Amino acid sequence: MKKILTPGLVLLSSPVIAATTGNLTVGYDYTNYSHNHGTKNILFADLTHKLDNGAVVLGVSQGRRDYGNSDKFDGTRGRGTIWYDWTPLLSSRSSISVGNNSPVFVRREFLNDFNLKFVKNTVLTLGARHAQYYNNTEVNSLSAGGAFYIGPLITTYRYTRYDTVGTGNSESHLLSLRLRDVQGGGYTQLFASTGTGAYTYDWTPETRNGKLHNLSVKRVQPLTEYVSLVIVLGKQWFDTPVKNYSGVNGLVGVEWGM
């Protein structure tokens, strides 16, 4: 049996840079899947450096995917991302990710986002992404969305259309609400996403479709002027053509401003 899941439910992220030249974030990410689908453990570190007109982020991750039986995979990934403001109306995000050939991380990833600021308090985003996964799975995607700023609240929406080579098309919707604290640099962010997955099996010539859902909340809590605690709690639901299962996720990290 061959099964493909489109990676549609991904949290939006951006570098958090206060009155420092950058920051270092280290953390641990754990997911426990139901119905004997095992666990996933990830350790990560991200270094952010502020530029005159943007930022550079370099990250490395080490993880293990345990499927609850004899199948266990270890994975390592390195990633580099550049945010850059070209003009007051145009900015971009470019990212390259390289990992080993395992189900833990994406093996190769190239993405570009372009942000357009034509309307006050509004940012429109257009994006493209190419990814290569374990077992020679390739996914191309195009996305469009935007963010609306009103006071301490940022509302973000993104629609993504996926083409899994040799399997079929799928899509996802991602909504985010980010509320900044009245005082200090802390914030709380809610993510809600839903999407479809394209699957192929050796017992049918047809591509089958499934559904994926995600709900999570993120909290960045300043502890001192330069140190913040990062916590993410979430749950994912996977409705596949052959079985349904879910995952409970927790992430904890510490961010140091430099």
- For the chain, domain boundaries: 22-257
The pLDDT of residue 1 = 38
Check if CATH label 3.90.550.10 holds for domain 22-257: no
Predicted local distance difference test score (pLDDT) of residue 2: 42
- Other CB atoms within a 10 A radius of the CB of residue 130 amount to 13
What is the pTM assigned to this prediction? Answer: 0.89
What's the pLDDT at 207? 66
DSSP 40-66: EEEEEEEEEEEETTEEEEEEEEEEEEE
Q: What is the pLDDT of residue 197?
A: 84
CA nearest to 186, candidates 217, 157, 229: 229
E strand or H helix at 211: strand 204-222
Mean pLDDT by 10 residues, the chain (258 residues): 43 44 95 94 97 96 91 96 97 98 95 96 98 92 98 97 90 97 94 87 68 97 96 96 93 94
d(CA 80, CA 107): 14
* String of DSSP letters for 129-180: EEEEEGGGEEEEEEEEEEEEEETTEEEEEEEEEEEETTTEEEEEEEEEEEEE
Contact 246, 211 (CB under 8 A): no
Please list, in sequence order, all residues whose beta carbon lies within 8 angstroms of the beta carbon of residue 167, skipping any fewer than 6 positions away.
4, 137, 198, 199, 200, 207
